[in-house]
Amino acid sequence: MEAALSVFFICCMSVLSPLSGVSDGELRGCPPSPNCVSSQSMQYNIVHKVDPIFYKTSRRVAFDRISKYFHESENIWISEEKDGEYIRVIFFTKVFRFPDRVEIYFPEDKQEAQIRSQSILGLWDIFANRRRVNQFRELLAKEESE
């Protein structure tokens, strides 16, 4: 019984996770469940930690490329977009339409994008969030080389 309550509590924590958005120049943290990755997670937290996305173009060009990708893709709803600075989208999986929240923040003083990707439902995402972050990393790298 205690194990079932523990699993239930962790699942609820993923739904009731910290609010999204940027606070004091950083994206909000991940919940304790392993269904979230963040480039601004604690430095030694291997469960949630991913590297930021570095780019060689200007901040404006990098933001526009990511924004264009979101606007042209299916199964994506853009819930907030602050021009040149921040974008939050909800991805929906194709078969079961599970929602995943993705946030990308472009700090002014660095040529990097901070990213947070979280499965809104469920306890574990089967590495879907890490794959998604790598997809964005490849998107910016491919665009830079063209």
The CATH number of whichever domain residue 121 belongs to comes to: 3.30.310.80
Residue 112 domain flag: yes
Among 3-17, 26-40, 72-86, 101-115, the range scoring the smallest mean pLDDT is 3-17
Compute CA distances 78 → 33, 52, 88, whole Å.
Answer: 25, 21, 6
What band does 9 get if pLDDT is binned at 50, 70 and 90? very low
128 belongs to a structural domain = yes
Whether residue 55 lies inside any domain: the answer is: yes
Residue 5 within any structural domain of the chain: no
Read off the pLDDT of each residue in 83-111 and give the average, rounded to a whole number: 93
Q: Is residue 10 part of a domain?
A: no
Coil, strand or helix at 128: helix
The average pLDDT across 6-23 equals 57
Tell me whether residue 27 is in a domain: yes
Q: Would 4 be classed as within a structural domain? A: no
Range(s) of the domain holding residue 80: 20-141
> What does the pLDDT read at residue 14?
45
| Domain assignment present for 7 | no
Q: How much is the pLDDT for 20?
A: 78
Q: CA 59, CA 16: separation in Å to the nearest integer? A: 32
Q: Say if pTM beats, i.e. exceeds, 0.95.
A: no
pLDDT tens string 63-93: 999 999 999 999 999 999 999 999 999 999 8
- Structural domains counted in the chain: 1
Q: Which of 98, 146, 94, 90 is nearest to 122 (CA)?
A: 98
Q: Which residue has the higher pLDDT, 89 or 109?
A: 89
Among the listed ranges 61-65, 94-98, 105-109, which one has the minimum average pLDDT value? 94-98
Average pLDDT taken over every residue of the chain = 84
